[in-house]
Amino acid sequence: MNRLDRTDLLAGLFVIAMGLYFAIGGLEYRMGTVVRMGPGFVPVSLGVLAVILGAGICLAAFRRAGALPEIDLRQTLFVLGTIVVFALLLERLGLIPAAFLSVLTASAALPVTRPVSNLVLAVCVAVGTWAVFVLILGLPIPAFRFAF
C-alpha cells in the first residue's frame, strides 16, 4: 500500500482541477468549429487535454512511493503577507510608509528577532525605492499621502 507518491498524486489532481476549470468555464462561450474557432474552442480543448495529462500524472504516482512536500507555513504566509500589505497601503499611505511597513512584515518571516536592524533596513529600503523609482525614473507615485 505504500507504493504511492503523494506529491505526484496531488500534482495530478491539481492539473485535473485546472483542466476542469478551463473546460467547464469555456463551455459558456461559443465553441465554433475547428476551422472557425469560437471563443470557447481553445479553452475547452486545453482543459480536456489538461484533464488527460493530470490523470496520467495520477496514474504514474501509484507506481512508486513518495511523501508529501513540507511547507514552512510561517515563512510562506509572511512573504505573501508582505505583498498584501504593500498592495493595500500603497495608494492609501504612499510609497514610503507602504514600503517601510511591508519590509517589517517581510522581516517577521524569520523567527529571529532583530528589531534594530529591521528598522534600519525598512528605512533604507523605503527611501531607496523612492529614490530609484520616483527621483531617478520619475514615476508618478506619491511618497506620502493619506487617503482612506
Partner 1 sequence: MGLYDNIILGFSTAISPVNLLYCFIGVFFGTLLGALPGIGSLAAVSILLPLTFSLDPTTALVMLAGVYYGAEYGGSTSSILLNLPGTPSNAITCLDGYPMAQQGRAGVALFTTTIASFFGGSVGIIALYTISPLLADAAIAMGPADYFSLMVAGLVAAAAVTQEEPLKGLAMVVFGLALGTVGTDIDSGVARFHWDMLELRDGISFIALAMGLFGVSEVILSLSTMDQRNVKQRVTLRGMLPTRDEWRRSVKPALRGAGIGGVFGALPGTGPTIGTFIGYTLEQRLHKDPSIFGKGAIEGIVSPETANNAAVQTAFIPTLTLGVPGSATMAIMLGALMMNGVAPGPNLINSNPEIFWGLAASFWIGNVFLLILNIPLIGIWVRLLQIPYHLLYPAILILICVGTYTIRSNVFDIFLVLTFGMIGFVLRKLRFQLAPVLIGFILGPMIEENFKRAMIFGRGDFTYLVKQPVSGVFLALTALLIGWAIYKTVRRRPRRSEA
For position 17 contacting partner 1 by CB under 8 A, the verdict is: no
For position 102 contacting partner 1 by CB under 8 A, the verdict is: yes
* Least CB distance to partner 1 at residue 126 (A): 8
For position 140 contacting partner 1 by CB under 8 A, the verdict is: yes
24 to 63: interface string for partner 1, x by CB under 8 A:
-xx--xx---xx-xxxx-xx--xx-xx--xx-xx--x--x
For position 95 contacting partner 1 by CB under 8 A, the verdict is: yes
* Least CB distance to partner 1 at residue 91 (A): 6
CA distance 40 to 27: 6
For position 109 contacting partner 1 by CB under 8 A, the verdict is: yes
Reduced to 3 states, what is the DSSP secondary structure of residue 81? helix
CA distance 78 to 61: 32
For position 112 contacting partner 1 by CB under 8 A, the verdict is: yes
- Which is it for the CA torsion 102, 108, 109, 114, positive or negative? positive
Give the total of residues touching partner 1 (CB under 8 A). 74
Q: Phi and psi of 32, rounded to 5°?
A: 70, -170
Cell numbers linked to 82: 508582505
